[in-house]
Structure 1
């Protein structure tokens, strides 16, 4: 990757360089905002069964849950559009205005779900309102990833890029921990009838707090000038390379996205419906998975700054995940108890985070600054929309069609294998200076 050059405006040229303290504020704002946005978007999955009963009533509880998971997947439909529109906005107008806009849109969507009347109250208008809110959240989330990842990568020295970028995934783990922890706490504090009646709304209403908190964090920081546009033309000799890397990014994210949404968000439902574990205890599966993600991602990211991004960490982590998925699900299905499930998930998450955290630096480092947010947002949105957002729906459908509780493992193995091939084709960037 070569450094891009451009002529700065007088205002940009006269601006003093940012201090390390100012850069840390930007990184902190990106991490916290990303955490809050992912919490708003993904907390739906922890209450999918209740939402299914409230908004998609059916004689068969499995059908009701499938409809609820289908609406969860609908939220990903708008991600590619949000990735393209908001990603390009971040490259042209700057990271800060794009991040501020996404957090406001996400809060509106969360409030709409938390305040929505049920099917029993307003009929078909209720599920329509839920779908509309999920579409708005999906549009916002599509633009969040690229802008936040680019910000984490660019704000600071070259020696710690992997550590900073890993907080993109770590903050997703923190969001999942916040969601699963809140779900588990409510399950223990409230009765089943109370949870079914109004308790499930609490996390979505809490999620609306991201608007004032997130906007304050992101507006009261200084940002570097927008990236130069000199190389944005169709005559850029490296345009073909960027397009190739864009496709590799899609397939690299694909497998790990499926693993994320199955192991971190689908497992509580899987434990309840197919392993017969109590709902209050099953929520702890999500807590365990998200805790490992939060703790291990920064560690693996820091190691990648010294050991390299692609090899050995990313490749070894994904190979280990492929090898261990089948034995882990076999043990969980044959010895369905909470200690067994937690132990299996912890081992799988250790492999998952090793294979994913360094890649969150590797992928954006393969794009120049003036294209980074746009390419990353659109690639991530497409991959997650097509595979991550549908992972829970596909897993439930495969179990129903095949009659095998092992179906989710086979699905993840295939997807992660494809992502392993894709990530191995990236150029190693851990020891290079970015433009």
Structure 2
């Protein structure tokens, strides 16, 4: 019997950045990691786009599907339906995350993409209240439930696949695209909303313009086909996700990840989604200028997260960048909000936003590798999906509401800064308790 050839040895031990030319089901390690990154990121971007674009057209949806003599009531009902999606995230995280561990990442990603496309199509094609009565808002609610369920499970499966496919030396870079794609989704959503608002008249926007982003979201379906045909992965083991894997250490890490994400998700929803509203309501900036703040924050996230992720790979450690970024963010939050409230002009606001986002992405990009690396493969997708879904539902989905409530009860426009400081402090403590995983083989 002859020893394996050099070529066979190279295929069994892929180098960083290598691109397979003869990938097959029998040799999943030979698949191009770049194809997996592109496929996972595009799907993740489109899923977050569908989930967040609702917020940009919530006022229009409120008028068409939740009519009321009081416009505020209509908008509140529309935002309540937006929150319904967050309620379903933990359930989706548990169910689809476990499915990903048992049946594979590719199967779970294809399922979530299909469900998100279904929800987007239902919203985009839904008849209004004037056409079918109470069935119209019921249809919107059901679509949001479907989207929330899918989004809850997508995170863990996509992050696990990004982490596991490719060289160990570029895990941080690949995993950081999970957060970068969220920034891309926010950028795409805000850009689409701004484009339609400027190109269409108000009657056109209400008649059909608001449907365009949701119908575009159905482009997820071809991405699902791409994932099925081009992603090759190692089949899960027979006992993957079994009860014996729920060890005390993994449960401890699950709670640590919940609180590690807390500061990240509060900062995300306040800096990317709430800050434009804050600029309009309290800094009295024009709406067209305030929208630029959200666009700028999303752009920084899209660009900087992969750079920080790659930096953590070069260092061979995750926690130095994560801790440094979060400490700097803690130091800058209060001065930044003080500057914005005392010098309420676009240049000052944009400068402060840029400083905060640079620190935020430093403390968050590498964390998307550190957190899943703390779980073994057999339970990685399920634990990450459920931890992320619980944290985002409890802290991210409520961040804007809590910030607005704190300002109202305290009468202090600096209240959001204090809330963000508290959340980042808790998050920093949780990260410090997680095991350093940079430079180590993946479990």
TM-score computed with the length of structure 1 as normaliser: 0.90
The structure that has the greater radius of gyration is: 2
Q: Secondary structure at the match of 1:429?
A: coil
Q: Does 1:217 align with 2:226?
A: yes
Q: Does 1:226 align with 2:244?
A: no
In structure 2, do the counterparts of structure 1 residues 197 and 235 end up closer, same or farther at CA, with 3 Å as the change threshold? closer
Residues 77-88 of structure 1 aligned to structure 2 (within 5 Å):
77-88=87-98
* Map of 1:154 onto structure 2: 164
Structure 2 CA distance, aligned partners of 1:94 and 1:239? 21
Deviation for aligned residue 1:261: 1.4
Residues 395-414 of structure 1 aligned to structure 2 (within 5 Å):
395-414=403-422
Q: State the Cα deviation string for residues 84-110 of structure 1 (Å, max 9, x = none).
A: 111111111111111011001001111
In structure 2, do the counterparts of structure 1 residues 415 and 155 end up closer, same or farther at CA, with 3 Å as the change threshold? same
Structure 1 CA distance, aligned partners of 2:124 and 2:408? 30
Structure 1 CA distance, aligned partners of 2:62 and 2:410? 23
Structure 2 CA distance, aligned partners of 1:256 and 1:390? 13
Contact 2:25 2:232 in 1 (8 A): no
Structure 2 CA distance, aligned partners of 1:98 and 1:193? 40
Structure 2 CA distance, aligned partners of 1:175 and 1:85? 24
Q: Secondary structure at the match of 1:434?
A: coil
Q: State the Cα deviation string for residues 203-243 of structure 1 (Å, max 9, x = none).
A: 1121122122x11221111422233255755445x811111
Which of 140, 149, 154 is residue 130 of structure 1 equivalent to? 140
* Map of 2:12 onto structure 1: none
Structure 1 CA distance, aligned partners of 2:157 and 2:114? 15
Deviation for aligned residue 1:15: 1.7
Residues 279-298 of structure 1 aligned to structure 2 (within 5 Å):
279-298=287-306
The more displaced of 154-163 and 395-404 is 395-404
Structure 2 CA distance, aligned partners of 1:66 and 1:323? 35
The more displaced of 125-134 and 85-94 is 125-134
RMSD of equivalent CA atoms: 2.2
In structure 2, do the counterparts of structure 1 residues 83 and 14 end up closer, same or farther at CA, with 3 Å as the change threshold? closer
* Map of 2:3 onto structure 1: none
Deviation for aligned residue 1:195: 2.9
Which of 16, 30, 37 is residue 27 of structure 2 equivalent to? 16
Q: Does 1:385 align with 2:393?
A: yes
Structure 2 CA distance, aligned partners of 1:344 and 1:28? 32
> Structure with the greater relative contact order (CA < 8 A, sep ≥ 6): 1 or 2?
1
Structure 2 CA distance, aligned partners of 1:137 and 1:187? 25
Structure 1 CA distance, aligned partners of 2:342 and 2:135? 43
Which of 338, 362, 367 is residue 359 of structure 1 equivalent to? 367
Q: Which runs of 5+ in 1 are unaligned?
A: 1-12
Structure 2 CA distance, aligned partners of 1:25 and 1:336? 44
* Map of 1:301 onto structure 2: 309
Q: Does 1:278 align with 2:286?
A: yes
In structure 2, do the counterparts of structure 1 residues 431 and 409 end up closer, same or farther at CA, with 3 Å as the change threshold? same
Q: Which runs of 5+ in 2 are unaligned?
A: 1-23
Residues 90-109 of structure 1 aligned to structure 2 (within 5 Å):
90-109=100-119
Deviation for aligned residue 1:71: 2.3
Q: Does 1:42 align with 2:55?
A: no
Residues 184-195 of structure 1 aligned to structure 2 (within 5 Å):
184-195=194-205
TM-score computed with the length of structure 2 as normaliser: 0.88
Contact 2:106 2:233 in 1 (8 A): no
Deviation for aligned residue 1:52: 3.4
